[in-house]
Structure 1
Amino acid sequence: MIDPKEVADPQVLDRLAAGGFDDPFAVLGPHRRGRLRHVTAYDPGAAEMAAVVAGKAHGLAPVAGYPGLFHGKVPGAKPYLLRGRREGQEWLVEDAYRFGPVLGQIDEYLLGEGTHRRLWQALGAHMTVHEGVAGTHFAVWAPNARRVSLIGDFNAWDGRRHVMRRRGATGVWEIFMPGLGEGTAYKYEILGADGGLHQKADPVGFGAQHPPATASVVRDISGYGWSDGGWMGTRAEAQRLDRPISIYEVHLGSWRRKDGGRPISYREAAVELVEYARDMGFTHIELLPISEYPFDGSWGYQPVGLFAPTIRFGPPHEFRDLVNAAHKAGLGVILDWVPGHFPTDPHGLARFDGTALYEHADPREGFHQDWNTLIYNYGRAEVMNYLTANALYWLKEYHVDGLRVDAVASMLYRDYSRAEGEWVPNKDGGRENYEAIAMLQDMNRLTYGEEPGIMTVAEESTSYPKVSRPVHDGGLGFGFKWNMGWMNDTLDYIKREPIHRKHHHHQMTFGLHYAFSENFILPISHDEVVHGKGSMLGKMPGGEWEKFANLRAYYGFMWGHPGKKLLFMGQEFAQGAEWNHDAEIDWACLGNPLHYGMQALVRDLNRLYAATPALYARDCDGSGFQWIEANDADASVYAWIRRGNPGDPEVVVACNFTPIERPAYRLGFPQPGPWREALNTDAESYGGGGRGNLGRVEARPGESHGQPAHAAVVLPPLSAVIFIKDDGTTA
């Protein structure tokens, strides 16, 4: 037995044995006393302990009064292993406390300042070779913790065994664990400032267990063999404002199910989803959040692991397989990103170190009443760093092409969904959240600055100005904004019985008053087909033929309208039922010719859109749009011109939102001559009645609707017809 005083102050040993000591490296591991090396080891599961050097064991004596604590002299300077014994069992392990720090001074400085742009390269779990030994380096930010330990199966989830090293004023704790690697489940056990013990998943962990299990998992995210150089080299061109962008929004968990009900995997999606989206003519796939989340019913919008692709569909490299395959097929990949809030699950960020660390302490600033979630403290430099670095992480590590930021309105306004007295004004007494605004601006500056050619998209439902304008121009810096006003107005119109539409005619035209104030995406998203809202087909009035005709006409209106396009899965073939995240979308309905026809229409709309510069080149420029007829409420007819760059054939779009055929509707055209009927939503191949203009019309000189030419066109009931100027070369 060793007298405790020969090892350390007994008060320190008391705290060490109780798991309350925050500087274990001061006691444990090797320490020189004069010319001799002394080793102290702590393993509550051991009855005997020895240090093994070059195959020779040097016994360590137990320290009196402290079971599991051993101390002794170990000659030489060569590395040693610890051999423990108990009741006939023996084990040989590296001593984590014989290794020095891993984080360098630059990391320490940037972490302390809250400006580490590569935060994920410093924090989290990294497989590495340190001081000649393979293992994993763990680092976590918990500045107010009294003690932080690494726990897992490797130490019986015992927080006394591997207390981490505090890195000065940074608030970061780290430890190198020799021998641990890929697939190791772990958490951090934190003795909080509040005196409580908290078992937390890694905020910067790259992997997680399958829910409902809640531990983080060591994942090696280095060394992936990307083969998407062709796409990456041309991405900036493909994602410009003047390029066609048509987005297929997907919830991977319910796009397609396999083997009796399991969700499709990343690797299966790399084949099936990519092939389908390409065949349908979409330019991008947008995935509902894949950052790890505990509750399936949140669809990913309440994440706990912002740096971990959810294990539901496979490990990180397999998610890369999906992105790589999409790129090789010429498709971009956009991720929904959620920096607005996080859930209160005990293994997550809530009161992470026993204090309101990531969130505001005051619930008037830190709690979302609508979603029962917590709001990030954007004014804290380290929290801003955590979020902006996470945005960059997905772009750099996974070659993602864009981020669609969820619920931006809830971030911009301190009084969002709050009654008077339930919110805290900003320093000027106003409702704008200056700190959140600064975070979004910083995120956009960082991502566009470091990854040219990417896009960021704001889901923002208010009239906040300059959302998609550069930060240097006073904007938020997003590339695009969802046009929620257009969506709400047009859906409200199209769900009405046609006889009433004339009284709401300008709901379909109002969006053009502000269509070019932002770089807009026209979204028919998952939010429009859940929570009792029904499917897109279900919103349409009338009997079966009218429902399908209405929806076909609406899609024609949407693809002819200025703005990039977004459609949620299942709506491309007019799924009849509301979306259910627990089951795959209703692929079986494609056996019905009407659903199959709707799918064919969306495919053709996408292809026509991509092949016709007038339909996309000036999506965000008012010079590319001109009304022909905006006021014929009695007939519920709308018509307009779309223009591209000089030399591009002009396009005329005409819509009839009544079930009455207009067999000879006099319509102005910007040029006389032949105009090809490029698409008619009433075509028989789409499930329509086959009424139309026999493929072309001849516009004659003579003013109509303020245009220099006119033609008598057939506008089928509940239809959209698209004409393209025939320059003699178009088939």
Structure 2
Amino acid sequence: MGCLSDMVPLSKRVAVHQTRTGADCIFCYRQHLNARVLAANLNPANSILPIGKFLTMPIGPAQPATLPEPLLRIVEARHHDPFAVLGHHRGEDGNAIVRAFLPKAERVRINSAGIELERISGTDLFVWEGAAEKIKSHYQLSWYDKQGNLHTHYDPYTFPPQIGDFDLHLFGEGRHWHAYRFLGAHERTVDGIPGYQFAVWAPSASRVSVVGDFNRWDGRIHPMRIRGGSGVWELFIPDLSAGGLYKFEVRDQAGNAAVKIDPYASAFQERPDNAGILQPAVEFAWNDNDWMEQRIKFNWQQSPMSVYEVHLGSWQRDADGAFLNYRSLAEKLADYCAEMGFSHIELLPITEHPLDASWGYQATGYFAPTARFGSPEDFRWFVNHLHNCGIGILLDWVPAHFPRDTVALARYDGTALYEHADPRQGEHKDWGTLIFNFGRHEVKNFLLSSALYWLNEFHIDGLRVDAVASMLYLDYSRNEGEWIPNKYGGNENLDAVDFLRQLNTVSHEQHPGTLMIAEESTSWPQVSRPTYLGGLGFSMKWNMGWMHDTLSYMEKDPIYRHYHHDLLTFGLLYAFTENFVLPFSHDEVVHGKRSMLDKMPGDGWQKFASLRLLYSFMFTYPGKKLLFQGCEFGQGGEWNFDAEADWYLLERPQHQGIRKIVADLNQLYRSLPALHEIDFDSSGFEWIDCHDSSQSVLSYLRKSTDGKQIVACAFNFTPVPRENYRIGVPKPGFYREAINSDAELYGGSNVGNRGGVQSEPIDWMGRPHSIPMALPPLAGIVMVLDDSNDNTVLPVESTDELTGEPTEEIVNQPIAEKTTHEKTSPDTAEPKETTPNKTQKQAPDTEVT
């Protein structure tokens, strides 16, 4: 049977029906239309009654089940293409047809035309048909709710698609580096009408809607259109304002609807709430141009780089324990880093995350700085301020896995979208998280866009990529039968390798001078070598082997260390195979591993002496440096993410001494080219003696690029002082004592070399010259070949711990004076004591060591 609307004269017929059977006709009730016509005592063949009148004749309440399928899909919020039904359409006769679905509306009118729409009985669908000239391309709908409140807004279903086909094409190929510019929610003005453009990727969804506080979180009101086979749904909603809250309601193929956050949202509510927040399209007033220009030319390989790793939620808090704002943190961190001599800070992940206890490593918002500390604008201010203070910013970034939270990425459209479907590929059982499908173009686009978003939109200076080893190996932390080999039968994750190479290549191309750093704990080759040489393309890699071996050695009782001498020397066999960072990170001071201070064996004095020794060894060893918050002053307990660092410990001289030597080591490292110019090549390092295991002493040389600066370093890893310990040196001259970790101003016993030692023409260790040194107990000595004509030093009264007799001893001068060969006394050299915590806790009377 033909469509019953055929009975209406052609001039009044609405020819939008989809089949001749009437099953999908928008304007027919099929079996009920004849009854309505007869009830009106009208002749269908001759009627000139507008079709809308037929559809609203009171013949009893119409049941939604009797609606034509397209209308029923709108009512039940399961139509995949609402633009085919709603909005402004033209009939075959040229008349305009306007349809709107407005739950809660009692009356609806078109403002500009003064036309009232009529309700389709038993539904919240409203329709009008009439002369096309009465309807503008964009019109406002005004409607009253049951409480009599007036609502006015432009009809969103009159606006054409806003995302270009080329963007969708690049996105589908995995080559759109800035997908965040069209996906997510963005303030737009379309045809002079302001609003927000929404877009989300959900290819297997049967329907997606924008829900928010502007539509009572009702998924029926703003269903989106899907853009062909791209899997992208979009909708422009006019009249929305910044600050509004929103999510997406996603209906899967089985008809189950779930409310999901926007994967590309640029701001979220503070946990436990998790809605996206509409952000204004306002450009931040950056004034870090000098920093950004210099960064492009920054020779990081030959420059000092000392990184302070910070967890913003526990570095410092308000007096009442509340989080500080990004702006306040920026000011305090800038001052503290300048005082301590750190060149960069590295932030534990600040991408939005629901669980504080994850430290940020289980992210749900890959494009949003966490709301715990303020807004995106506040975080831009944070970066801008630190840059203007000469401090670089690195972010921990987590592309390896994501949490199972049902409101976030997990099974986003009812299928394994961002993750692998097979748990042997898609689950991290140890962490209870899901693994990204790096082989899917759109997933790679999501992650690449996230990385570039932070570099571009927030001027971040580099990313430290977390858990790279878990990405590279298909059998990472898996037993036999729990993983699937690659197509060659191996355990390498080829998709992840391709992704990491692409990530590093694009990041370096798009943002020259930025640093990409890998936390990679295996022997995977060429992690920090260029991709054109077969490497992964990272700038640097954390030296996890050096860190583990060194801490393992330091944790041993000094009496047994000579059996484990190789733990300190083995690292030099591979020290120059990668561009290494030496990390004492957050991971080493949690989960029962104890604080850095508490790892050290012995009594309280020995613990502090050993920690000063360890830091002296670290700052003279080849590689860039990284130290976690609290480690720089010898925090006594493990890191607690839920409380600020124990700043009150700085009331104690021993902890002040740790902080003082870290500041001096930073300054020494920055001021001596021999300690930083050749960190990644063996030409900058030379053993003096690596074989003295019986006395647990190590000594080596560091050299500058031009070979003119010579730094001799010697370390005594036992509490036994070594008098007249002789080491060979390549050149004659006066070797100035630049750092002595046993100096009194650091809390040591003040055994030293009276400011320096003149070399002697005595062959030693195959070298024509040598110097006799006093090696203090559990201490490191750094001697710099002095090229100054003034080799005099200032004597200071002290007691020689080797003899017990009063002597004139030289105590370390502050680094600034030492580099200019100025003389000072310990009293005048004392650095200003400050702490970033203005409200220090009272230190207990009894010290716990």
**TM superposition score normalised by structure 2:** 0.84
Please, which moves more after superposition, 403-412 or 648-657?
A: 648-657
2:681 maps to: 621
3-state secondary structure, aligned to 2:520: coil
Superposed structure 1 runs of 4+ greater than 6 Å apart: none
**Residue 46 of structure 1: which of 93, 105, 110 is its match?**
105
Residue by residue, what CA displacement relative to the aligned partner does 1:469-492 show, whole Å, maximum 9, x if unpaired?
A: 000100000000000000000000
3-state secondary structure, aligned to 2:485: coil
- Confirm whether residue 582 of structure 1 aligns to residue 639 of structure 2: no
The residue correspondences of 1:150-165 to structure 2 (distance < 5 A) are 150-165=210-225
2:71 maps to: 13
Equivalent-residue separation in structure 2 for 1:715 and 1:57 (angstroms):
95
**Residue 576 of structure 2: which of 516, 519, 536 is its match?**
516
3-state secondary structure, aligned to 2:453: helix
1:407 maps to: 467
- Confirm whether residue 378 of structure 1 aligns to residue 435 of structure 2: no
Equivalent-residue separation in structure 2 for 1:710 and 1:596 (angstroms):
35
1:27 maps to: 85
- Confirm whether residue 203 of structure 1 aligns to residue 268 of structure 2: no
Q: 1:541 is aligned with what amino acid? A: P
1:525 maps to: 585
- Confirm whether residue 434 of structure 1 aligns to residue 491 of structure 2: no
The residue correspondences of 1:686-701 to structure 2 (distance < 5 A) are 686-701=746-761
- Deviation, 1:72, is 4.2
The residue correspondences of 1:198-237 to structure 2 (distance < 5 A) are 198-220=258-280, 222-237=282-297
3-state secondary structure, aligned to 1:603: helix
The residue correspondences of 1:625-704 to structure 2 (distance < 5 A) are 625-704=685-764
Q: 2:588 is aligned with what amino acid? A: E
1:471 maps to: 531
Equivalent-residue separation in structure 2 for 1:76 and 1:717 (angstroms):
91
Equivalent-residue separation in structure 2 for 1:481 and 1:609 (angstroms):
20
CA contact (8 A) 2:397 2:464 kept: yes
Residue by residue, what CA displacement relative to the aligned partner does 1:89-108 show, whole Å, maximum 9, x if unpaired?
A: 22112211121111122212
Q: 1:46 is aligned with what amino acid? A: A
- Confirm whether residue 389 of structure 1 aligns to residue 449 of structure 2: yes
- Deviation, 1:543, is 0.7
CA contact (8 A) 2:485 2:491 kept: yes
Equivalent-residue separation in structure 2 for 1:710 and 1:108 (angstroms):
70
Residue by residue, what CA displacement relative to the aligned partner does 1:391-428 show, whole Å, maximum 9, x if unpaired?
A: 11110111000000000000000000000000000000
Equivalent-residue separation in structure 2 for 1:113 and 1:64 (angstroms):
47
**Residue 96 of structure 2: which of 37, 41, 49 is its match?**
37
CA contact (8 A) 2:397 2:463 kept: yes
CA contact (8 A) 1:367 1:373 kept: yes
- Deviation, 1:125, is 0.7
- Deviation, 1:113, is 2.3
CA contact (8 A) 1:253 1:581 kept: yes
Equivalent-residue separation in structure 1 for 2:426 and 2:128 (angstroms):
48
- Deviation, 1:222, is 4.3
- Deviation, 1:4, is 4.2
3-state secondary structure, aligned to 1:263: coil
**Residue 352 of structure 2: which of 285, 292, 296 is its match?**
292
3-state secondary structure, aligned to 2:387: helix
CA contact (8 A) 1:255 1:264 kept: no
Percent identity of equivalent pairs: 50
Equivalent-residue separation in structure 2 for 1:167 and 1:457 (angstroms):
37
Residue by residue, what CA displacement relative to the aligned partner does 1:489-547 show, whole Å, maximum 9, x if unpaired?
A: 00000011100100101101111000000000000000000011110001000111100
Q: 2:506 is aligned with what amino acid? A: L
Equivalent-residue separation in structure 2 for 1:86 and 1:481 (angstroms):
61
Residue by residue, what CA displacement relative to the aligned partner does 1:628-668 show, whole Å, maximum 9, x if unpaired?
A: 01111111100000011115411111000100111210111
Please, which moves more after superposition, 421-430 or 112-121?
A: 112-121
- Deviation, 1:690, is 1.2
1:398 maps to: 458
Equivalent-residue separation in structure 1 for 2:616 and 2:263 (angstroms):
45
- Deviation, 1:110, is 1.5
In structure 2, the CA distance between the partners of 1:715 and 1:419, relative to structure 1 (3 Å rule), is same
1:355 maps to: 415
CA contact (8 A) 1:49 1:70 kept: no
CA contact (8 A) 2:137 2:158 kept: no
Equivalent-residue separation in structure 2 for 1:116 and 1:327 (angstroms):
29
3-state secondary structure, aligned to 2:300: coil
Equivalent-residue separation in structure 1 for 2:135 and 2:250 (angstroms):
36
- Deviation, 1:239, is 5.0
Q: 2:73 is aligned with what amino acid? A: R
CA contact (8 A) 1:468 1:478 kept: yes
Residue by residue, what CA displacement relative to the aligned partner does 1:180-205 show, whole Å, maximum 9, x if unpaired?
A: 13211110000013432121111111
Equivalent-residue separation in structure 1 for 2:679 and 2:129 (angstroms):
76
2:604 maps to: 544
Equivalent-residue separation in structure 2 for 1:650 and 1:135 (angstroms):
65
- Confirm whether residue 367 of structure 1 aligns to residue 427 of structure 2: yes
Q: 1:605 is aligned with what amino acid? A: L
3-state secondary structure, aligned to 1:307: strand
Q: 1:506 is aligned with what amino acid? A: D
- Deviation, 1:221, is 5.8
Larger RCO of the pair (alpha carbons < 8 Å, separation 6+): 1
**Residue 605 of structure 1: which of 648, 665, 671 is its match?**
665
Equivalent-residue separation in structure 1 for 2:307 and 2:545 (angstroms):
19
CA contact (8 A) 2:99 2:125 kept: no
Equivalent-residue separation in structure 2 for 1:550 and 1:29 (angstroms):
75
**Residue 102 of structure 1: which of 136, 151, 162 is its match?**
162
Q: 1:242 is aligned with what amino acid? A: Q
Please, which moves more after superposition, 69-78 or 694-703?
A: 69-78
3-state secondary structure, aligned to 1:134: strand
Equivalent-residue separation in structure 1 for 2:583 and 2:282 (angstroms):
36
CA contact (8 A) 2:138 2:154 kept: no
CA RMSD of aligned residues (A): 1.5
Residue by residue, what CA displacement relative to the aligned partner does 1:164-215 show, whole Å, maximum 9, x if unpaired?
A: 0111111101111112132111100000134321211111110111111121
2:121 maps to: 64
- Deviation, 1:236, is 3.4
1:84 maps to: 143
CA contact (8 A) 1:44 1:69 kept: no
Please, which moves more after superposition, 106-115 or 144-153?
A: 106-115
Which structure dedicates a bigger proportion of its chain to strand?
Answer: 1
Q: 1:118 is aligned with what amino acid? A: H
3-state secondary structure, aligned to 2:208: strand
CA contact (8 A) 1:59 1:72 kept: no
Equivalent-residue separation in structure 2 for 1:128 and 1:622 (angstroms):
55
In structure 2, the CA distance between the partners of 1:221 and 1:472, relative to structure 1 (3 Å rule), is farther
Q: 2:124 is aligned with what amino acid? A: P
Equivalent-residue separation in structure 2 for 1:112 and 1:71 (angstroms):
39
Any stretches of 5+ residues in structure 2 without a counterpart? 1-13, 15-25, 29-50, 56-66, 790-819, 822-849
Please, which moves more after superposition, 152-161 or 71-80?
A: 71-80
**Residue 119 of structure 1: which of 175, 179, 198 is its match?**
179
- Confirm whether residue 257 of structure 1 aligns to residue 314 of structure 2: no
2:779 maps to: 719
Please, which moves more after superposition, 510-519 or 317-326?
A: 317-326
**TM superposition score normalised by structure 1:** 0.98
Aligned pair count reads 728
CA contact (8 A) 1:117 1:385 kept: yes
Q: 2:566 is aligned with what amino acid? A: H
1:345 maps to: 405
Any stretches of 5+ residues in structure 1 without a counterpart? none
